[in-house]
Structure 1
Amino acid sequence: MKVKTVASQKELEDAYFVRKTVFIHEQNVPEEEEIDQYENEAAHFVLYNSEDYPIGAGRFRTLDGNGKVERICVLSNSRVKGAGKAIMDHIEEYAKEKGIKKLKLNAQTHAIPFYEKLGYDTVSEEFLDAGIPHKSMEKKI
């Protein structure tokens, strides 16, 4: 597996392929909520398997001096194989290179244990985003 910071149109299309598969088709998030007004200001990431097939994605934005980790997803047949951690590790390194000291994210509640293992702490009550229960989480890096 290898994570790439998106640097070409094909890599961006690969990231969108994974995001649309997971969020729109699997979780029924409306496309206009998944692909939003922040796409052009975000850094995008795509995870490829050993055959160079896209299996994971995520994006990152800087807000008020903090890093905002968003749209982390892995295709269903590639989960529980270290794929999510690989994406998160890559994004964290990217953030450090940008001088970011704290990362924030909104986690789907089922994914909270995953993020806790990576050092994130829950900092909010549960709320709905695209009809899916979430909690906000933070990590100092």
Structure 2
Amino acid sequence: MTVEYSVRVAAGDADREMCFAVRKDVFVAEQQVPEDIEYDAFDAQDADTIHVLAVGADGVALGTGRLLHGASALGKTGGDLTVGSLGRLAVRGAARGLGVGAALVRALEDAARRRGLAAVDLHAQTHARGFYERLGYEAYGTEFLDAGMPHLAMRRVLTAS
């Protein structure tokens, strides 16, 4: 099955609301992540946060992801300002397996490169490890719980595109 979609940096409140709606469907409704921990101070539109959005040809949001960099990423990257933090990657069930997740990750990596970052870290749910490994990410450290689910820290060193 082929689905036409585009990926863009979320611009404005309407796009960000579409991002949040995808996250609510995937994390809160599907995975039972408490809503009060799903949304955080990093969801604000600022110079250190980039949201990306995948939208189908029909205008329906299919997926989203977020990149933190600069001061916003310090706690998530061990204090390294050259590393971005990819997170909140979510793809609605009907769009899984169609390349949407990979396209979102690549868009976030491109945004990281434009900001001069050398690498991107993320905390992957352990069941998604293979997905991220296929995209060039390597696991490090030990498994840990986040929102009650097992996760692994992973990193990809960025090269010029």
Equivalent position SS for 2:120: strand
Query: Could you tell me which amino acid in structure 2 is paired with residue 47 of structure 1?
Result: A
| Counterpart check, 1:21 vs 2:25 | yes
Aligned to 1:81: 98
Equivalent position SS for 1:99: coil
| Counterpart check, 1:140 vs 2:157 | yes
| Counterpart check, 1:36 vs 2:43 | no
Q: TM-score, normalised by structure 1?
A: 0.97
Deviations 1:45-82 (A, max 9, x none): 11101212101001110123111000001001110000
Higher gyration radius (CA): 2
Aligned to 1:54: 61
Q: What is the rounded CA distance, in whole Å, between the counterparts of 1:72 and 1:124 in structure 2? A: 21
Deviations 1:104-123 (A, max 9, x none): 00000010000000000001
Aligned to 1:124: 141
Runs of at least 4 residues off by over 2 Å: none
Q: What is the rounded CA distance, in whole Å, between the counterparts of 2:141 and 2:33 in structure 1? A: 22
1:6 is displaced (CA, Å) by: 1.0
Q: What is the rounded CA distance, in whole Å, between the counterparts of 2:42 and 2:18 in structure 1? A: 18
Aligned to 2:116: 99
Q: TM-score, normalised by structure 2?
A: 0.85
Q: What is the rounded CA distance, in whole Å, between the counterparts of 1:51 and 1:93 in structure 2? A: 25
Query: Could you tell me which amino acid in structure 1 is paired with residue 94 of structure 2?
Result: N
Give unpaired runs (5+ residues) of structure 1. none
Give unpaired runs (5+ residues) of structure 2. 74-79
Identity percentage of aligned residues: 36
Q: What is the rounded CA distance, in whole Å, between the counterparts of 1:8 and 1:52 in structure 2? A: 16
| Counterpart check, 1:11 vs 2:15 | yes
